[in-house]
A and B are shown apart, each in its own frame.
Chain A
Amino acid sequence: MNERISKHIDELFMGVEHTRQAADIKEELAGNLQAKYDDLLSNGLSEEEAFENVISGIGDIKGLLGAGQIREVESAYRRRQTSSLLKGLAITLFVVSAIPIIFFTTFIPSLEIIGVISSIGIVAAAVGIVVYAASIKPEKYKKGDDTFVEEYKEKVTGGDKRQRLRGAVSSTLWLTVVTIYLAVSFMTHSWHLTWLIFLAGALAQNIVMYMMGDTRRVGKLIGSTVWTAAIISYFVIGFLTGQWFWGAFVFLVAALLQQLVRLIRIWNEV
């Protein structure tokens, strides 16, 4: 990599926050400038001429990752993290929700109703958290050049509609899952098993979102499938053999499988 060019790029990116996006742009810029530089040299330009040409062709890179946009990306990133964290918490709550019912039914049968109410309460809280997590997740926000203002407005409303549809489908799906859960639970009284319906719901959601064009979720889809299968296997093995500690191995295998899949996917991209 030409030293003067890479030094110029470093200077350009001084003071820019270290986000993945900024690093990608920096590397892409370096690759393209190097290619252009070499091309100009082979066309007979002097090193000085080629350098000037390359540098003057950069344009307003700072504007592309201006401070405002970086901050926006950072806060969007933080919100996405919070959203994922909350979803994890919600899933934990779904799992834990079975405990009150099991506890009261086993130990204090006379107060069974408290168990039922507590479990439903925990499920309700978990659903609320899922909905909230979905609402704080940042929407894709694109900023265009000044000349793109009209096209940009069009795109934002287009993308917005798509996202609203996905949100609506997601909400409907979860309401359906909760309804099914309550119906099946009250009919079969198998509260210690019916919470698995929520796992199926998470899996279904990722499948539906993937089909609706949200390709980012492929990784999550694979993850959900692996973990759902793991948890179901754990319970099946546990109930059939009575040996609950074998369950630990199931989760280890699941974690291994997930990392393997991740490795394969990254390998394919590289």
Chain B
Amino acid sequence: MPIAADLIRGHTETIILAHLYSRDSYGYEVNKSIYEKSGGRYELKEATLYGAFRRLEEAGRIESFWGDENTGARRRYYRITERGRSALRENLDEWGDAKKLIDILIQTEGERL
């Protein structure tokens, strides 16, 4: 479903903010949750994820810190900031409006398709 894939890529930042709203997390954990919630159908590329993380961090909506793993490479964790929470609220409102708008625009008249 190319539409869904595009939408997910287009809303990566909101998806990340929503995930971090509930708990601090790191890249793979966020991606895994997308994978599981989509019933195993969608997964973001690492590069896409990191691009989004960086933009969010530069906008001051999330902040990062290095984890303290006992074995292997360190994980980069992210937590949402106050600015991030308000951006999330705004994005959710906008998405709600967009959904309604698209539904209106793609309404067919006459016989129900």
By a beta-carbon cutoff of 8 Å, the part of chain A in contact with chain B is 1, 24-25, 27-36, 39, 57-61, 63-64, 140, 142, 144-145, 147-148, 151, 155, 159, 213, 215, 269-270
Contacts and interface: CB of A to CB of B under 8 A. Distances in A.
A32 B27 contact: yes
B96 interface: no
Contacts of B43: 57
A61 B46 contact: yes
A31 B78 CA distance: 13
B58 A31 contact: no
Nearest to B71: A1
**Range class of the B interface residue count:** 20 to 34
Given A31-B26, A31-B69, A59-B45, A213 B50 contact: no
B46 A32 contact: yes
Contact of A36 (B6, B28, B60, B74): B28
Interface in B27-61: 27-29, 31-32, 43-48, 50-51, 54-55, 58-60
B69 to A, nearest CB: 7
B47 A58 contact: yes
Contact of B76 (A1, A31, A59, A270): A31
Contacts of B29: 35
Interface string B57-85: 01110000111010011111000000000
Contacts of B32: 36, 39
Contacts of B47: 58-61, 63-64
A270 B55 CA distance: 23
Given A24-B76, A27-B73, A59-B47, A32 B10 contact: no
Contacts of B19: none
A1 B6 contact: no
A211 B55 CA distance: 22
B55 A269 contact: no
B73 A155 contact: no
Nearest to B48: A59
A35 B72 CA distance: 9
Contacts of A35: 26, 28-29, 75
Given A32-B28, A35-B28, A144 B55 contact: yes
B70 to A, nearest CB: 12
A48 to B, nearest CB: 19
Contact of B10 (A24, A30, A148, A269): A148
Given A1-B73, A32-B75, A145 B48 contact: yes
A31 B30 CA distance: 13
